Structures are given as C-alpha cells and as structure tokens.
Structure 1
Amino acid sequence: MASVSLSEAEKVYIVHGVQEDLRVDGRSCEDYRSVEVETDVVSNTSGSARVKLGHTDILVGVKAEMGTPKLEKPEEGYLEFFVDCSANATPEFEGRGGDDLGTEIANTLYRIFNNRSSVDLKSLCISPREHCWVLYVDVLLLECGGNLFDAISVTVKAALFNTRIPKVRVLEDEEGAKDIELSDDPYDCMQLSVENVPCIVTLCKIGCRHVVDATLQEEACSLASLLVSVTSEGVVTCVRKVGKGSLDPESIFEMMETGKRVGKVLHASLRDVLRKEESLGPTRPKVGFLG
C-alpha cells in the first residue's frame, strides 16, 4: 500500500489533533472527505464507475459474460474480481509491487460478496446447471491518497448499479436441444438491485480514538485498523482487522458501532447521487476520467 514518511513532530501533531476531534484538514473523526462519483465512464463495459475520494482515484468496470454455473451453486451466477494497482498511482506499484495489495483487496471483495443477500445471484442464472451470467469486476487504482478499501467498495457498488445485462430467452426445439436468444435491443436489459450491496467503512485507531476516511498521513500514525462491511440498513456483514497493532475488545465494539452509524449515512448519500445521475439519462455530459 502507498506510504508516506512523517517526522515525529508531524506524527505528534496529527495524534494530538485527533484526540481533540480536530484533524489536520479540519474534519472531525467521523467525517469523510468530498466524494466525486460518476457512472457509465467506460463504453465497452456492461457498467462502470469512477470515484474520487480526496486524492484516491478508483475506476471500476463490470463485464457480463455467459458462463457455466458452479457445481455447488447450479442455479446462480457469480462475480469475479480483479484488482490492478497501476504504477501511476504510486512508484511502489512498479513491476509487481502492487500484486500483493491487489490480491488482498480482491480477497476482501470476495468475502463481503460471499453471501446471497448482497447481490441476487439467482437472477443471473439463465438455465440451471448450464448457463449463467458471470460478472467480471475489474478494479483499477489510478491514485492512492489513503482509505483505499472504502473508495473501492463505493466504486464497485456504483458500477454494479450502472450495470445493464441483456435479457435472454431459452428456446427448446422438439428434440430437447436448447438455444439461447440474446436481445438486440440495448434498452431490453436487466438492472441489478444494489440495495443490499455493502460498503466498507475503515476505522483507523490513532492514539485512543479512531477516525474514518484516513489520509495517507493519518494511516502512517495508525498501527491498527478495522474494516467494517455495512449494508444500507446498518447490518454488519464482515469485519476484518488490518495492521500490526492490537485492538482491545471495548474499542472494537465501539469502532463497529461507529462503522454502522457512518455506513448508513454513506449509503444514503451514495444512493441519492446515483439516482440523481441516472435521472439525467444517457445524454448527460461526461466530465470524469474518460470524459
């Protein structure tokens, strides 16, 4: 993960400010930075989104392709995640420097989506045991400015909201052979319900307090963080501790409650933005990364 070097005086300044609920950029401990969201930014995908959170810039594309259902879930489609840590984001990602982080992020996404409530996987099934839709979710890190997991989860949810899957019909002839007919009408498509798709809220422990949406400088002052996957209803679906430091049980429960409270506000804000952008229709001007 991208890192930054701080002097001891800078670390003391940041830690003391957090204890007084006043961070370097003027935010309180539970405030997010300004978030820019834009969907439908990549033309050759089924859905895409770009999110800029402070100096963190994420691009996600979703491609829907036909595949075969997994043996253990013959009546469901599934999602595949791939994370590319661009060397443009930070020099530390040059060569294979970002591979470990990409694998870690992908595994975290698999964990929070590994339940039937996040996405209606049965709606992705075309013909049980034979055909289903596979959603390939490609995540590209364009710039790292702290709080990667939160930004990526928001972008993935926005891209899934923007995803349009063509409707298909399964035709069967007299001999029982099945043929799949794909609709040519671009407006004859299925939209995924993302109401239960969770977002990650990362809480960084700094001193005796914790903050959300930490910057790179604040992450350098934290030895332990808690990743809380929260739905729009405030239900925690996954919890993961990262970092070398330790967290006592009381602080963990306190951080989870903060994550649920902040997560509900984050979901509500994202839902309003996505609905507003969708209401503008396909003629809206492109102003984002690929505008």
Structure 2
Amino acid sequence: MALCEAEKTFVLHGVEENFRIDGREREDYRPMELETSIVSHAFGSARLRLANTDVLVAVKIEVDIPFPEKPNEGKIEFFVDCSANATPDFEGRGGEDLAIELSNSLSTAYQSSRAFDLSKLCILKGRKCWKIYVDILLLECGGNLFDAVSLAVKAALWNAQLPLVKSVHVDGNNIEMDVSEELYDCQKLDIKNAPVMVTVCKIGDYCIVDPNQAEEKCSVGSIVVAVSGDRLSTVLQTGAGSLHPTTLVESMKLGHTVGQRLNQALWEALQQIPEDQDVGFLK
C-alpha cells in the first residue's frame, strides 16, 4: 500500500485528535472473529480474523527425544507460511523474511517457562517427550500481523489436546508407550499464561495499538510487546524506525496494559465457546 503525503497527513491528524480514520481511539482494536476446531486432521486449530487480517493455525503433536541440555522438557516449533493470495508482496519469495521474523518472535516469546511450561510435555526424562508443531498460514494481510498471529496461536493451543500416556515400559534401549485409544481420553495444554503480542506504533507524537496498513506506513517506529500474564516476556523492534528512550518506556507500558486486557478478552471468549459450536467473538 502506497500513500501520498495528503493521506499520511490525514492519518497523522486523526491520531492527534484521538479519532483514527476508521473511527477508533488510539487504544482500540478492530473487531475480531475467532473459530476453533476447524482443521479436522490436526490436534487443535483456530482461525482468527482481525478486520482484513486472516490467520489460520493448526497444531500437530508427535513423540520426540528431548534436547540433551533440557532432558526434562518437551519441544515446541513454529512455522509460518505467507500465502501469495494474502498480498501481492508475498509472491515468489517475498514473504520469507516476514515468516522468519514471525516464527522467531513466537519462539522467543514462548521460551520462558512462565509463559509456557515445556516440562509438562516430558514423557520420560531424557528419552521421550511430546513435540508440538504450530503451523501458521497467513490468508490475508490487513495490518497488525503479530497480534493476530499470537492470538490465533494461543487459541489453537487451547484447543489442542495431548493423548493420555497410561504407562511407559523401558527395556534397555527399547521404550514402549501405552497410549490411550479413547477419543476423549486426552489432556489439555496449560496456556493460561501463553503470551499475547501487542504492536505499538508511534505516529506523530502519539502511540497507537492495532495499526492497519495505512497507519503502519505512517509509523516512525514500532515495537512488539509479548505479554504473559502480568509480565512482559519479550520486547521486539519492528520496521526501520527508532524510538526515543522515553517513548520506548511509554510504549512498553501501553503494550503491557493493552496486552492484559486483550489476554482477558481472549480467555473469556475461549471459555464461552460451546462444545457443539466452536465459534467465539472478541470485542
């Protein structure tokens, strides 16, 4: 999206007046729609639409061997696919850098045990563990990808269920696992403190959240704050701009406050999803 100087001035003046071009205030999000259990062959899945941004996430689980330096922990791996249909910018190899940036930011945000406890994925210390694959497909890009992806990932992990291991038999190097064959004999993942990302952009003298594509073009600098419970699990800088130290602190505080509200809204929406209709709305 290319903006002329008049359009950029219009966006800037709207932010200054706390009345953005789509009618929102600086700390408001656009409407979101969330669906879960929509990929039948996955252990868990979710699709989130944030205005014109559309993200699909599927979770797969398999048995693996723990890392030698972390024998008591399982594994989680993120993979992002930027569909060429999402935006013309993704044609060819245009989306590779963004995909790597998104997957790395998720890996960093989920690295802390306070955000996501990988020890609960351990089956047998140093021998067997669960490995979670989180596949993310960007279907449409309408701005604020980091926030939308993090919300969809958390919802998909909430929807995922681990097969119940009844017992483990060890005979030398041979390990046999007795996994329950009952369809509903599973356990859910603990994602209460899983991080939610909040993108904070500075436009003019003010900071906003949930920027659309036009606002992203007008931003002089932005950060992504990953909020886990009441803590900041990580802070990342995006784009080419920079922020003054005072502005950086204010942006982090804004991201932390908004992230807590967003986390609470997501959690309440997930709790309200009925078993026979996996649809929820965030407002």
- Say whether the fold is shared (TM-score over 0.5): yes
The CA deviation at 1:172 is 2.7
The CA deviation at 1:171 is 3.6
2:16 corresponds to: 19
Query: What secondary structure is seen at the aligned counterpart in 1 of 2:218?
Result: coil
1:43 aligns with 2:52: no
1:67 aligns with 2:60: no
Check conservation: 1:232, 1:268, Cα contact below 8 A. no
The separation in 1 between residues aligned to 2:164 and 2:237, in whole angstroms, is 41
Within a 5 Å distance, the mapping from 1:117-136 to structure 2 comes to 117-136=114-133
1:54 aligns with 2:54: no
Task: Choose which of 251, 276, 284 in structure 1 pairs with 2:277.
Answer: 284
Within a 5 Å distance, the mapping from 1:77-226 to structure 2 comes to 77-172=74-169, 177-226=174-223
The separation in 2 between residues aligned to 1:54 and 1:103, in whole angstroms, is 24
Measured against aligned partners, the alpha-carbon deviations of 1:161-211 in whole angstroms (never above 9, x if no partner) come to 000110113343787953111111111111011111010000011011111
Task: List runs of 5+ in structure 1 lacking aligned partners.
Answer: none
> Residues 170 and 178 from structure 1, CA distance in 2 versus in 1: closer, same or farther, beyond 3 angstroms?
farther
| Greater strand proportion | 2
> Residues 286 and 275 from structure 1, CA distance in 2 versus in 1: closer, same or farther, beyond 3 angstroms?
closer
The separation in 1 between residues aligned to 2:240 and 2:279, in whole angstroms, is 42
Check conservation: 2:8, 2:218, Cα contact below 8 A. yes
Using structure 2 for the length normalisation, give the TM-score.
Answer: 0.95
The separation in 1 between residues aligned to 2:270 and 2:171, in whole angstroms, is 46
Task: Choose which of 235, 238, 245 in structure 2 pairs with 1:239.
Answer: 235
For the aligned residue pairs, the C-alpha RMSD in angstroms reads: 1.7
The separation in 2 between residues aligned to 1:24 and 1:5, in whole angstroms, is 16
1:275 aligns with 2:271: yes
The separation in 1 between residues aligned to 2:142 and 2:172, in whole angstroms, is 59
Check conservation: 2:270, 2:280, Cα contact below 8 A. no
The separation in 2 between residues aligned to 1:171 and 1:198, in whole angstroms, is 32
Q: Percent identity?
A: 46
Check conservation: 1:83, 1:138, Cα contact below 8 A. yes
The CA deviation at 1:287 is 10
1:266 corresponds to: 262
Check conservation: 1:150, 1:199, Cα contact below 8 A. yes
The separation in 1 between residues aligned to 2:103 and 2:160, in whole angstroms, is 19
Measured against aligned partners, the alpha-carbon deviations of 1:242-283 in whole angstroms (never above 9, x if no partner) come to 222221111111111111111111011101110101xx11x2
Task: List runs of 5+ in structure 2 lacking aligned partners.
Answer: none
> Residues 285 and 188 from structure 1, CA distance in 2 versus in 1: closer, same or farther, beyond 3 angstroms?
closer
Aligned length: 281
Query: What secondary structure is seen at the aligned counterpart in 2 of 1:108?
Result: helix
